[in-house]
Amino acid sequence: VGRDRYGVFPLRGKLLNVRDASTQQVMNNAEITYLKQILGLQHGKKYEDTKSLRYGHLMIMTDQDHDGSHIKGLVINFMHHFFPSLVKMPGFMVEFVTPIVKATRNNGKDVKVFYTLPEYESWKEASANEKGWKIKYYKGLGTSTAKEAKEYFADLQKNSKDFTYTCDEDGKLIEMVFSKKHVDDRKRWLNSFQPGTFLDHNCSEIPYKDFINKELILFSRADLERSIPCILDGFKPGQRKIMYCGFKRNLKSDIKVAQFAGYVSEHSAYHHGEQSLASTIVGLAQDYVGSNNVNLLFPSGQFGTRLQGGKDSASPRYIYTRLGPLARYLFREEDDRLLNYLDEDGQSIEPEWYLPVLPLVLLNGADGIGTGWSTSIPNYNPKDVAANVKRYISGMPMESMVPWYKGFEGEISRVITKGASADKGESFSVSGIINIIDEKTIEIVELPLRKWTQDYKDFLEALMKPVKKEQQPFITDYKEYHTDTSVHFVVTLPEKNLELAQKQGIYKTFKLLTTISTSNMHLFSSEGLIKRYTAPEEIIEEFCDKRLEFYQKRKDCMLQDEEEQMKRLDNKVRFILMVVNGELVISNRKKADIESDLDNLGFDRLTKGGKSKASKQNQENDEDDEASPKSSKAGAKVSYDYLLSMPLWSLSLEKVQDLQNEYDQKKEAVQKIRGTKPTDMWLDDIEQLEENLDVVAAEEKKLQEELAEQQQRAKGGKGKGKAKGKSAKAAPKKLAVGVKVAPPVIEAKAPSKRGKAAAPKKRITQVDSDSEDDFMPSLMERLASRSGAGDIDVAKVPAAKAPAKRKQMSKKESLDSPSPQQKTKTVRRVSPVKKKTAAKKKSIVLSETEESDSEFENDSEFDSDALCDDESESDSDFEM
């Protein structure tokens, strides 16, 4: 091509979506500044030709995958927003296309090139019977060899496609995809997606509307699938691939997370970066407060704690994992053969979805931000979910559930909102625990869910900094006695500040209240469509309808297997007796003649291994000795080998008796299966799961007690020697004096519309639905405006640490805490709270030399920034 007339500028990741960005954001964006400088663009100028520009064309070269399509769209959006005349100019906007899949055979003589995955899938289905094709997937530009790159540029005209502006509809489509003003239009656009859609790159020109409707929509759909889990198994694609490989390998012994990520990438046809896989593996294994209620992988090493919300996990090179103790009680092996396994390049990979015993999406929750939709689903108690599933099985109405997080000791309460309808979801108030020790001392022993210890420490540090030197800070000191699983701050403050905090509401003063909502629960339904759910019971009902179907399929499959085994045993007994009695001669005869006699005698041709109809999942025995193939491969050849290959000692009387006894046992098993209802199978699975939940909980409790005992012994100075200088801080002994402050409570004026809640002792908080003041001013702001504040001053918390907005209580219903002298009982079990943050523009690094980890962001199940509060609307939209 040469460098005289072609310049190359590598973009660093994805360009800013300028459609709704502020002027300051655009001016501060280096990539946009460079683009304008390189092209010689003048802001606000209407171009009739390219004579005043440094270049006559803008050619976009990206990877041919979905993220590459997104980058093309962002560049087109930038040009259309600021320089629409250039977008409309024929031949100015150009794309350079490279293959995403190549199929070769006959030593490379026959080559087929595909520029989109749907195009390749369509060809694969049409040529299913053709063999000998070797498939190569091109993840990005870096996959191509130097020879292939020269071939691309040698035929520049063929590989470059001009974008054409055909009518005003093109511009409206560009704006619709990238503007916040067109949320509903974008959702309708996504819902109109038809599987199999792809853009034909054989044409020399591509209308913008075709690019939007046939290529960019593929990114939007893939982005949704990576962000929003499926209702049936609660998984996103990366998580499903990981669990498939864990089950496939029967992963019962430790393996390095980094090595397991490589195994998953190889055996599940994963086409993204292994770093994103490693991060997803870590997320599936985390078990700190606020993460998983049921971790499907075991965290053997430092997988992160509540100190930093999981961000303090060790490198994947240093930590190990294996299947968690509850994984196979949730995902039963008996169901593996019933699933619809996907296929890629002749390789069997993960199923379309799994079907656990209970809806996993309610046990571990889900958070994600996709194109057009986001989702935020809290965690629920497995026992509560199991109880409602049992009610579904028995035909009883389900009870309303309250979110619950394992290990959380604070309190959660349902908020009754005046005038709010049930179809908008529910809100819950979540509080930590604060105790007043004396007039100048308080202790904080629990934080609201997903408010991490380190972040709270930063908040306390801010309270210790006065705004002015001559003023007194709000708190004078704090000490820390927490562990990686518990929270314990002891805070010292002036007596008048404590009185003021109580008057204003001590929980709000120390930011120990937050909210969680069920108004933004979106999932892929069992039909594969995005659907909004307003209550966890609605999710349970849809899940159970599908789950019950598969218990019937399991029963039918088990019955078929047992009957086939009976047939096999019956044939063996008949065969042996006929040989012994001389009715069938097999010695000194041709195999074909023997098989002909067996046909005439009514014997059955069966697979040699045991089951003529086997699992579609190819199991293997890799490194784990306990792993074993469950059955022969699907489509195995049927014959009489299971009879003719029996050893000579099988002709003994003892062998006949053994086979007859085994036949009788199989007959009893068949009768038992026939008399078992599918619902009984389900109830048995639930019972086993609940029993093992109790076992795991007891083991975890015992481990925590042992660790606490070891810590106490260490603090007692029983070790050899003492450190010189300042002694280490030890947790104070349990105080005999002091009052635990109860969270703010207001009597509910209206009952819950969903009936009795499953969790005991819930508090009810009431707010007005039309409250416009979403958040009470922070204490420090109120103090600064109070004339009577005296010398009390509080440093402002940095903006980055500011809490999310919440519904404000009315004056009559203000959340004042009880007086220090009021005593309450110990804190009840509580559930999770989610914070709302503004939608953040993604900036994912994508270049020829760096791997895109876009899926990692969407697979981070427990990112606190992805949480929504009670203001989260079901139609909340996050821009591309």
Question: How far from chain centre, in Å, is Cα 480?
Answer: 33
**What's the number of CA atoms in the CB half-sphere (13 Å) around residue 389?**
32
Evaluate whether 366 touches 373 at the Cβ level (below 8 Å).
Answer: no
SS3 label, residue 811: helix
Strand order in the sheet with 101-105: 110-114, 101-105, 134-137
The H-assigned helical ranges of 286-326 are none
- CA–CA separation, 533 vs 519, rounded Å? 8
416-437 in b/e burial notation, b at 16+ Cβ within 10 A? bbeebeeebbbbbbbbbbbbbb
Specify the DSSP class assigned to residue 331.
Answer: S
Out of 165, 318, 507, 551, the active site residue is 318
Amino acid letter for position 46: K
Dihedral angle, C-alpha 749, 750, 756, 760, nearest 10 °: -20
Evaluate whether 567 touches 606 at the Cβ level (below 8 Å).
Answer: yes
The H-assigned helical ranges of 2-49 are 23-28, 30-39
Q: How many residues does the chain have?
A: 880
Dihedral angle, C-alpha 447, 448, 454, 457, nearest 10 °: -60
Smallest Cα–Cα separation from 838: which of 807, 795, 867? 867
Evaluate whether 274 touches 261 at the Cβ level (below 8 Å).
Answer: yes
Amino acid letter for position 622: D
Rounded to 5°, angle at Cα 830 from 761 and 288: 155
Evaluate whether 121 touches 197 at the Cβ level (below 8 Å).
Answer: no
- CA–CA separation, 114 vs 639, rounded Å? 42
Q: Which two tokens stand for residue 556?
A: 């039918």
Instruction: Provide the 10 A C-beta neighbour count for residue 158.
Output: 12
Strand partners, 766: 416
Strand order in the sheet with 255-256: 255-256, 320-323, 297-300
The H-assigned helical ranges of 83-116 are 84-88
SS3 label, residue 304: coil
Q: How buried is residue 692: exposed, middle or buried, by Cβ count under 10 Å (0-12/13-18/19+)?
A: middle
Whether 456 is a known active-site residue: answer no
What is the helix (H) or strand (E) element at residue 435, kind and residue range? strand 433-438
Sequential DSSP letters for 155-180:
THHHHEEEEE--SHHHHHHHHHHH-G
- CA–CA separation, 12 vs 868, rounded Å? 30
Positive or negative torsion for Cα 544, 545, 549, 550? negative
Q: Which two tokens stand for residue 642?
A: 């299971």
Question: How far from chain centre, in Å, is Cα 218?
Answer: 20
Smallest Cα–Cα separation from 238: which of 230, 616, 672, 91? 230
Strand partners, 443: 435, 490
Specify the DSSP class assigned to residue 769.
Answer: T
The β-bridge relationship of strands 489-492 and 441-446 is antiparallel
Place of tokens 């019937």: 552
Active centre residues (catalytic): 318
